[in-house]
A and B are shown apart, each in its own frame.
Chain A
Amino acid sequence: MNTDTVLKLSHISFGYERDHVLMRVPDFTIQRGQSVFLRGASGSGKSTLLGLIGGVLKPASGQVSICGHETTSVSATRRDKIRADHLGIIFQQLNLLPYLNIIQNVTLPCRFSKIRAARASGESGSAAQAARKLVTDLGIGPEMLGRNVGHLSIGQQQRVAVARALIGSPDLIIADEPTSALDTDNRDRFIELLNAQRKRFDCSLLFVSHDLSLARHFDHAIDLDDLNMAASA
């Protein structure tokens, strides 16, 4: 497989019950450096697709490859490692651990991935230094770095989540409805910031949202209903 392909889904089928297929994806690919907008309404199977990509859910058939690493036929531990090494994930909201401060939250992926820890250290000397640089670049003042994340606004928390997804330059960032809690101005600013940072770190981006108006910010846009053959059937 071409290692410029960071994500490839081939002939995926999935269902929580054996004879009831919820998702069938014949082919879906994201190339290195690409940003892809995936539109999906509520209940369309976005979380299921993310679970399949992240290796938390296992397809009934087909293959999922991340940066050339096939994840469907390997052990759960190996899938966890591939996820830790190659994926950065941003959730909709409140996706930080409240009992850790900003830097501890941002460096968390480095705790589970030696590759990302090494990359972060290589860029800035240490994972903590890389985290400091990332969050200040994202507009969070140095005076706030030691603060507990519970004291941050939603917007600040989202920026911390972006920093956490970017640290150690993962190959693919998955953003799951990250702007749904933001107003229009902040939403556009957030996407611009995210795009700028992921370009800087040479990361691909899969941005999942129900809001089609955001599609203009990305290289490609695709509707989950078009992707999922089971839905169209």
Chain B
Amino acid sequence: MKMPTTLSLAGRSLWARKYTALLTILSIATAVFLFLAVENLRQGVRASFERTISGTDLIVGARSSPVNLVLYSVFQIGDPTNNITWDTYQEISQRPDVAWAVPISLGDTHRGYRVVGTTEQYFERYKYAGDQDIVFKTGQPFDDLFDTVLGAQVARDLGYEMQTSLTLSHGLGGTSFVKHENRPFEVVGILAPTGTPVDRSVFVSLPALEAIHAGWKNGTPTPAARQMTPELLRSLNLQPQSVTALYIGASSRMQTLRLQRDLNTYAAEPLQAVIPGVALSQLWGTVSIVERALAVVSGFVVVVGLIGVLTSILTTLNERRREMAILRSVGARGRTIIGLLVSEAALIAFIGAGLGVVLLYALLWILSPVLEARFSISTLRAWPGLTDIYVVMALTGIAALLGLIPAGVSLKRSVSDGLSIRI
């Protein structure tokens, strides 16, 4: 039989007080769980955010702020301040330093999901998460005037399949009282999930947007508009007069800045050209205040957990005076008493922190489909990483240091109590 080491003595002593120890371990586990969950979520949100759009050199819209332009053209949040004329789009797309230009047009919704009017090129040019292409889970881009392509989340949430018929609502609000009920669209394609706002979009062609608004005046349909049949609409000239924004790919990356400057000083109409990465950084800078606040709060939770460990050990010291006296009587040195209490604090923190990590990743494993479906956060770490190991180690180290406080108190007491304490 091996003689117990200080750590195993600490473990056995802790086991003898397992219910109070368990509560302390749970408080540490909760603290670590919250801290790492916030950290993981923060990094996941940031990664999701940064991977929203790539491969696009410039986004061009009516002059406003870069953040506002990115919000409405990429994240589908907020409203555009103005449109870009079709002539301007044509002129820009024909510049030699522009490799491609994809127009998007916003203004309608379907059951709360934004409708994006665009061209087939959108599905070829829009890239996310580095260099990933949009992939059709089923179907193909729109061919007929009243064809529509659905983002993955729209199809999943609304239970739509291929050939489902749907109608659009006028306006960008969640609730609309003006619907394009006499011009139904048919689903011809459903996209694979991307973890970006694309998943929450309903795509139609630009002529289709023109068609459903044909005969409208001042944002409302005229009686004549209600009489227009799909066949009649197909025969009309449906070239748009304006679009909301353009995604642009430069012929050469080197020319992007010059192209941006040219577009920002475009004479024919006031335009704003932003580099997506720069605008995303600005946007993240704004929202990261919340992120930092969350990190601070979760940090405090960990501090409270550590104070819990200290309190738990300090409150049991009185009832453990006999234990210390016995150990001293059999020859335990001061360093053994210190080692015992430091090991105990470290053991509580290690088990608690480890439990917190296990709980977090178990929960993430269960909840990741929901997080991806509901919040498009698909970049959460699925397995513990170096950060988690560092957190567990740091917490164990800090708890061990804190353990020196009760150890000092206990050592002082064990000397004054002598060898024959009677309590």
Contact = CB atoms under 8 A, between A and B. Distances in A.
Interface in A144-183: 164, 176
Given A99-B12, A110-B3, A56 B415 contact: yes
Interface residues of A, number: 41
B253 interface: no
Contact of A112 (B322, B323, B332, B422): B332
Given A97-B323, A99-B13, A112 B333 contact: yes
A113 interface: yes
Interface string A80-122: 1101110101011011111110011001111111000100000
Nearest to A167: B330
Contacts of A51: 418-420
Contact of A127 (B3, B334, B419): B3
B92 interface: no
A46 B421 CA distance: 12
B411 to A, nearest CB: 10
Interface in B269-294: none
A47 B332 contact: no
B322 A94 contact: yes
A25 interface: no
Contacts of B334: 76-77, 80
A54 B103 CA distance: 90
B15 to A, nearest CB: 6
Interface in B5-57: 12-13, 15-16
- Interface of A, secondary structure class, is helix
Contact of B330 (A84, A103, A128): A84
A16 to B, nearest CB: 9
A72 interface: no
A91 B329 contact: yes
A193 interface: no
A109 B12 contact: no
A95 B324 CA distance: 11
Given A95-B326, A99-B16, A109-B331, A57 B418 contact: yes
Contacts of B415: 56-57
Interface residues of B, number: 26
Looking at B4, B331, B418, B419, the one whose CB has the most chain A CB atoms below 10 A away is B331
B323 A91 contact: no
A77 B335 contact: yes
Contacts of B4: 100, 104, 108, 111
Nearest to B332: A112
B98 to A, nearest CB: 77
A47 B329 CA distance: 12
A104 B329 CA distance: 15
Contacts of B422: 92
A50 interface: yes
B333 to A, nearest CB: 4
A-B CB proximity, top 7 nearest: A84-B331, A112-B331, A51-B418, A99-B16, A128-B1, A80-B333, A99-B12
10 contacts: A51-B419, A80-B332, A80-B333, A81-B333, A89-B329, A95-B322, A103-B1, A110-B3, A112-B330, A112-B332
Given A47-B418, A56-B418, A108-B4, 18 more contacts: A50-B420, A54-B418, A76-B333, A77-B334, A80-B334, A81-B333, A84-B331, A84-B333, A91-B326, A92-B422, A96-B326, A103-B1, A104-B1, A104-B3, A107-B3, A109-B330, A112-B332, A112-B336
